[in-house]
């Protein structure tokens, strides 16, 4: 299959090249030139997540140098449980995407991308440098996925003081081929620095730069697999489509669900749950698309004022009316996030991370409007990652999953850096 930039659909390149580039040279995002079409019966009943991914992604890898290695890539990267568990009341489910090594859904995409890039980058060439701006969880997932991978290195930029202490610890706990920079600014500053570096020809000639942000195809494609896996298992056991409510920031996770639905998987409605950053809810309720600076909220991994995957949504829906009519999109304020977390155990028998709490609240509103269909809340992180928010609200400590505990036991270190490009550029030149 070929891939083109959202800004020039006529010029196609192969998957390997698109994976290595990250962002298209014209500043657009890579999108597939065609989409395959599946039926639920194309997947075996006993398929694991890795096997579903393999079947689903095979057409995207067709004719590419990596196609012969797709099985191995899926087995290596997607060996993470993604259970669909029941919540109260009936017809309510939770797709648990927090069982990976850094306890957030980004492990799926980051590990898949790392497995691809390691196979693509020849060991005898200068190292490939992955630049990643993170509002919290991406950086840790990417650092974990690339840690000690030969001939690959990662530079993580995160907004100092705007991630939880445990997130900060995770971001700095790797060392070796991972450089962690804490930026005196917000997430948009981090993204701008990364973009400026990509646009700097001198840096490009010194370092082979690549990205691992949620714009990367290597993250987007594998994320489709858990939606496929969950919707097919729902289809088999209960018949009918599964609707999803998805905590949304840069639209990477939600876009994977939308793509999976377009490929014929039994997915019904998709609701986007944002925090107080309401650029998407405003757009879907009829305003012009108006990117802004991001607001700091309790669901910090979704503190996004300019969702980077929006261009892909526009590509999928060239008709603006169809796009605006195609989704529920609602914002959830911090006060509601707190309320959902505080009542989670009594109402649902669960603890939620602040991001997942946004989705829970949006589903509560959907239920209040009389919708009794099957909905799955997508749980994007483990509550133990955000203990400073969650523990005071639930009134007790949250048990830390073993993989996360292992990371928190390591020493951690991040270099401070300003939000201007020049010092960042100098730091990269010294790599
Ligand atoms: C990154 C992240 C999100 C937002 O995902 P997008 O793909 O940016 O929309 C939601 N929840 C958690 C826990 C995250 O880490």
**CA 26 to chain CA mean position, Å:** 23
How far, in Å, from the CA of 69 to the mean position of ligand 1? 28
Q: How far apart are CA 60 and CA 56, in angstroms?
A: 8
Residue 199 has pLDDT above 90, yes or no: no
Q: In which band, very low, low, confident or very high, does the pLDDT at 198 lie, cut at 50, 70 and 90?
A: confident
Q: Which pTM was predicted?
A: 0.94
Residue 156 has pLDDT above 90, yes or no: yes
E strands, 258-311, are 267-274
| For ligand 1, mutation pick of 216, 221, 249, 377 (most atoms within 8 Å of CB) | 249
Q: What's the average model confidence in pLDDT over 157-175?
A: 92
Could you identify the residue written with the tokens 């073993």? 402
Measured CA angle at 229 (ends 233, 264), to 5 deg:
95
- Tell me the pLDDT tens digit for each residue of 25-35: 888 999 999 99
For the chain, domains (ranges, CATH) are 72-105+218-402 (3.40.50.1100)
380 C-beta closer than 6 A to ligand 1: yes
Residue 163 has pLDDT above 90, yes or no: no
| For ligand 1, mutation pick of 94, 245, 247 (most atoms within 8 Å of CB) | 247
294 C-beta closer than 6 A to ligand 1: no
E strands, 309-366, are 328-331
Residue 122 has pLDDT above 90, yes or no: no
Of the two residues 183 and 166, the one the predictor is more confident about is 183
Contact by Cβ (8 Å): 361, 227: no
| For ligand 1, mutation pick of 162, 216, 380 (most atoms within 8 Å of CB) | 380
Mean pLDDT of the chain: 94
How far, in Å, from the CA of 251 to the mean position of ligand 1? 8
């Amino acid at each position: 299959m070929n891939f083109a930039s959202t800004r020039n659909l006529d010029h196609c390149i192969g998957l390997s090249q698109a994976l290595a580039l990250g962002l298209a040279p014209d500043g657009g995002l890579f999108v597939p030139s065609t989409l395959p079409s599946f039926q639920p019966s194309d997947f075996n009943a006993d398929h694991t997540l890795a096997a579903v991914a393999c079947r689903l992604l095979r057409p995207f890898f067709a004719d590419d140098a990596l196609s012969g290695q797709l099985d191995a890539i899926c087995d290596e990267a997607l060996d993470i449980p993604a259970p669909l568990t029941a919540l109260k009341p009936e017809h309510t489910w939770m797709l648990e995407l927090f069982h990976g090594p850094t306890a957030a859904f980004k492990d799926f995409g980051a590990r898949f991308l790392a497995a691809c890039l390691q196979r693509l980058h020849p060991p005898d060439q200068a190292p490939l440098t992955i630049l990643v701006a993170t509002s919290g969880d991406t950086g840790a997932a990417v650092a974990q996925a690339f840690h000690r991978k030969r001939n690959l290195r990662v530079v993580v930029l995160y907004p100092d003081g705007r991630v939880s202490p445990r997130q900060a610890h995770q971001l700095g706990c790797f060392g070796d081929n991972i450089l962690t920079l804490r930026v005196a600014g917000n997430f948009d500053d981090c993204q701008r620095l990364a973009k400026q570096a990509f646009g700097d020809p001198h840096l490009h000639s010194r370092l082979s730069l690549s990205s691992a942000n949620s714009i990367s195809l290597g993250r987007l494609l594998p994320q489709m697999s858990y939606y496929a896996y969950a919707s097919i298992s729902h289809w088999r056991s209960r018949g009918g489509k599964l609707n999803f409510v998805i905590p949304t920031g840069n639209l990477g996770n939600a876009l994977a669900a939308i793509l999976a639905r377009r490929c014929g998987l039994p997915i019904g409605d998709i609701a986007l749950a944002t925090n107080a950053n309401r650029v998407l809810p405003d757009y879907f309720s009829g305003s012009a698309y108006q990117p802004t600076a991001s607001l700091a909220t309790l669901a910090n991994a979704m503190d996004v004022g300019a969702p980077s995957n929006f261009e892909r949504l526009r590509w999928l829906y060239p008709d603006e009316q169809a796009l605006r009519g195609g989704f529920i999109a609602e914002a959830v304020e911090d006060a509601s996030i707190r309320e959902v977390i505080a009542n989670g155990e009594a109402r649902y028998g669960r603890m939620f991370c602040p991001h997942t709490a946004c989705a829970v609240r949006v589903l509560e509103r959907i239920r209040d409007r009389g919708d009794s269909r099957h909905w799955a809340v997508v749980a994007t992180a483990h509550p133990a990652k955000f203990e400073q928010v969650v523990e005071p609200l639930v009134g007790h400590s949250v048990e830390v999953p073993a993989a996360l505990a292992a990371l928190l036991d390591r020493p951690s270190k991040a270099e401070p850096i300003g939000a201007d490009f020049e010092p960042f550029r100098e730091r990269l030149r010294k790599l």
